[in-house]
Structure 1
Amino acid sequence: MSGLTIKDLEKLQKQLPDYPMELVDGEIIVMSPSGLESDEVAAEIVRQLGNWVRPRKLGRVAASSAGYVLPNAEEDVRAPDASFIRAERLRRTTSKYAQLVPDLMFEVKSENDTLPRLRQKIQEFLQLGTQVGVLVDPRTQTLEVYRPGVEGVEKAEILGNGDRLTVPELLPGWEMIVEEIWAPVFDED
């Protein structure tokens, strides 16, 4: 089914509340649950962002269930795995989909994702106003950092263990140590 609208998505979400969905180019995409590893990484990113942002009242941090109505021709509704919106852009929260793009967004690769599809999603957000998009790959333990005008993995800033992600244009002073976001391994005693 193509040519669907936000109203169609909302109606379907009420009928099937246990199925996360996105609206992309007039088609509803049912999102399967991710594996534990990718969700654990995304939760850690949200935790670290939230621990920095909330006490400083810098804005809002959301997880993968927060939908954004994108300001494109199709009015897509997309949901990054983690995101940040500056306070001055959304003074009060909403119970509905946010009618803007986040300033910072993360996509965490799960077993079912493909890198080209995630890179494309990040580029779409950047073209619509997101300032920084980060692709997180738990298998290679790398981050690909994209800013407007940076297309293609060969031009992305690549971070790995031993590196720190900083986003001074949005979160001055904040840093995320790359190796601290990966799912821990608990050794047997």
Structure 2
Amino acid sequence: MLNNTITIPQTFKVTHEQFQQIAAVNRDLRLERNATGELIVMPPTGSDTGKRNQDVSGQLWQWNRQTKLGVVFDSSTGFQLPNGADRSPDASWVKLERWQTLTPKQQEGFAPLCPDFVVELRSKSDNLEPLREKMREYMANGASLGWLIDRKNKKVEIYRQNQDVEILDNPSTLSGEDVLPGFVLDLTDVW
């Protein structure tokens, strides 16, 4: 029987190309790579978090199916950000015109762009500060709107370009504003 255990040294760094190879042969692992090349192995989400994450993605997908304004991605999608990091938001969306500028090869791999909209959903075991760092990274790399949904404290941190973070306590809905016109996320099943 094969041993499927992976141990990674704390200072282990990989290039984008090496990361793509590691991710391709370890499809069952949730991996990211920060801008300095450090490999990040994340535990799979629990069933409850996965269900709630799917609710967020499903609502976004349904809105996009009606508007056809862009492309929706789930949590297994990797993006190569302009700063060199390889990240996988829990849910994301890219404007159609930006997506269409990519070659078929770029669309097939880790798309070399930052999504226009990103969502990170905090599970009960997640530390909040690394998620906030990711949200700041998305904004610094070109995202227009981001939501950090903190189920543990029933708060949402809204990230926008060139603005302070807005914190909402226990909202029932979130607006996609002018980035996702007409999109309203119902948080009933997310909480």
TM range (shorter): 0.7 to 0.9
Q: Which residue of 1 aligns with 2:137?
A: 124
Q: 1:8, 1:82 → 2: CA distance?
A: 24
1:101-142 Cα distance to aligned partner (Å, 9 max, x none): 011101111133111111111001001110111111222222
Q: Which residue of 1 aligns with 2:17?
A: 7
Q: 2:129, 2:33 → 1: CA distance?
A: 19
Match of 1:78 among 65, 82, 87: 87
1:173 and 2:182 matched: yes
User: In 1, are the aligned partners of 2:124 and 2:151 still within 8 Å (CA)?
Assistant: no
Q: 1:12, 1:101 → 2: CA distance?
A: 21
CA 1:137–1:129 in 2, change beyond 3 Å: closer, same or farther? same
Q: Which residue of 1 aligns with 2:167?
A: 157
5+ residue gaps, structure 2, are 1-10
Report the TM-score when normalising by structure 1.
0.85
5+ residue gaps, structure 1, are 183-189
1:136 and 2:145 matched: no
User: In 2, are the aligned partners of 1:26 and 1:76 still within 8 Å (CA)?
Assistant: yes
User: What secondary structure sits across from 2:146 in the alignment?
Assistant: strand
Give the total of aligned pairs.
176
User: What secondary structure sits across from 1:107 in the alignment?
Assistant: strand
User: What stretches of structure 1 move > 4 A for 4+ residues in a row?
Assistant: none
Residue type matched to 1:140 in 2?
Answer: N
1:50 and 2:66 matched: no
Match of 2:41 among 10, 30, 34: 30
User: In 1, are the aligned partners of 2:45 and 2:123 still within 8 Å (CA)?
Assistant: yes
1:52-71 counterparts in 2 under 5 A? 52-71=63-82
Report the TM-score when normalising by structure 2.
0.84
Identity of aligned residues (%): 31
